[in-house]
Chains A and B, each alone.
Chain A
């Protein structure tokens, strides 16, 4: 963290690019075909990971409790979803799919697999 005194005389921390939690989330989400934000203790996160593995997909998982900026990212995800539960959250091809219920609804109505194929996470 880099402190700089500006003309009004109070300390204002200079933000380095990408440390805005939501920006970081978006950045990480666009780096892989399937991205899951999770907590290592969360069992619903375990369920969603098992779902993708069962489909033959290899998701990139970020355990927020093991990330130094994890708390901020959790708060940002909670605001994004409008939910008391920050995780699990799934991104496919950089686009937000949502929490467990959206993922399951999308799998049942047949839209999940085409999305995965489009993102290059699934072949055949």
Chain B
């Protein structure tokens, strides 16, 4: 431990150490997380402790064998063992710490993205509707924030399911496996309608406006989503060949969906008409409160329409799958997944489109 050769080795080891640490620091500096600076500093500290432990262990080994001829000191042995233990623990702690930092960095990047998106939509909302949306404190409706996060996750899962369907159909898997994929696809759509129903309770205007969808999707917006009859048109391009019976049933389904859509559209038109009549008919102040109470009652009906529209979408999907074979149903769900995916991609391309 005290020989001149070990002293030299130790100095060399410390020189090595500094080289290592500066390389580690560079690796951390490539991120744009604000944590980078402090993390590099801490990394150095941990590194020093670790390196020192390791080097001393390494350094000591040869001298221990040298000393074997002169009776190994019990105290020294115990100290060396403790050093090895400390070094090992230190390495484990360092590994865990680094992993934690990495995942925190990723999470922070994700959260910043979410925040940016919410902020942009928030600016859009408060400029488009009444300024009271966020209130004086600028807080966001928590039911809507929850919906946005859930919907983002829903889209990710849908893209995954679309890939699975594509792979399964290309690989010519069995009908039983396709059936499982079809059923999970249908369940996934039911989940969407469920979270939309919750969002409708939180803020039906937000849901009805389609602000939570991408721009190309919003172009086709009808009472909180797509028109079921239009989606059937998309599907019909991809499920040939159909038997005569199936052809008839699919056409009937499309026609029924159109008739139901027309009925709901007329209902909403009536709602608009009633509301406009109510608000426009009397500008006196004496009747103000009563007028607003009636107007509020009228507006409450909007939630019912959004729910009925989603109910129509769900029923149309279920009936479509009933009419088709398993293989056709799988192709139908794949067609829908691809269609939505491409519309979303189109929206991104459009946003980046030079003008």
Q: Which of A1-9, A26-34, A47-55 contacts B (4 or more CB under 8 A)?
A: A47-55
Q: Which of B52-60, B249-257, B327-335 contacts A (4 or more CB under 8 A)?
A: B249-257
Indicate whether A105 reaches chain B with its CB closer than 8 angstroms: yes
Contact B263 A47 (CB under 8 A): yes
Indicate whether B259 reaches chain A with its CB closer than 8 angstroms: yes
Which 7 pairs between the two chains have the least Cβ-Cβ distance? A47-B267, A51-B263, A108-B315, A43-B271, A50-B266, A46-B270, A43-B270
- Report the interface size for chain B: residues with CB under 8 A from the other chain: 27
A-B contact count (CB 8 A): 70
CB-nearest residue of chain A relative to B249?
A: A110
* Distance (whole angstroms) from the CB of B201 to the closest CB of chain A: 14
Residues of A within 8 A of B266 (CB): 46-47, 50
Spell out B's residues near A (CB within 8 Å): 249, 252-253, 256-257, 259-260, 262-264, 266-268, 270-271, 274, 298, 301, 304-305, 308, 311-312, 315-316, 319, 322
Interface positions, chain A 75-92, Cβ under 8 Å from B, are 85
* Distance (whole angstroms) from the CB of A86 to the closest CB of chain B: 13
Indicate whether A109 reaches chain B with its CB closer than 8 angstroms: yes
Contact A43 B274 (CB under 8 A): yes
Tell me the complex Cα distance, A85–B259, Å.
23
Residues of B within 8 A of A108 (CB): 253, 256-257, 260, 312, 315-316, 319
* Distance (whole angstroms) from the CB of B189 to the closest CB of chain A: 15
Contact A43 B301 (CB under 8 A): yes
Given A101-B311, A105-B315, A108-B253; A44-B259 close (CB under 8 Å): no
Which of A41, A46, A109 contacts B319 (CB under 8 A)? Answer: A109
Contact A104 B262 (CB under 8 A): no
Map CB proximity to B onto A10-49 as digits: 1 under 8 Å, 0 otherwise: 0000000000000000000000000000000111101110
Given A44-B305, A47-B266; A107-B274 close (CB under 8 Å): no
Contact B264 A47 (CB under 8 A): yes
Contact A44 B315 (CB under 8 A): no
- Enumerate 10 A-B pairs (CB-CB under 8 Å) in ascending A order: A44-B267, A44-B301, A44-B304, A50-B266, A51-B260, A101-B308, A107-B259, A108-B312, A110-B252, A110-B256
Tell me the complex Cα distance, A101–B267, Å.
14
* Distance (whole angstroms) from the CB of B223 to the closest CB of chain A: 11
Indicate whether A116 reaches chain B with its CB closer than 8 angstroms: no
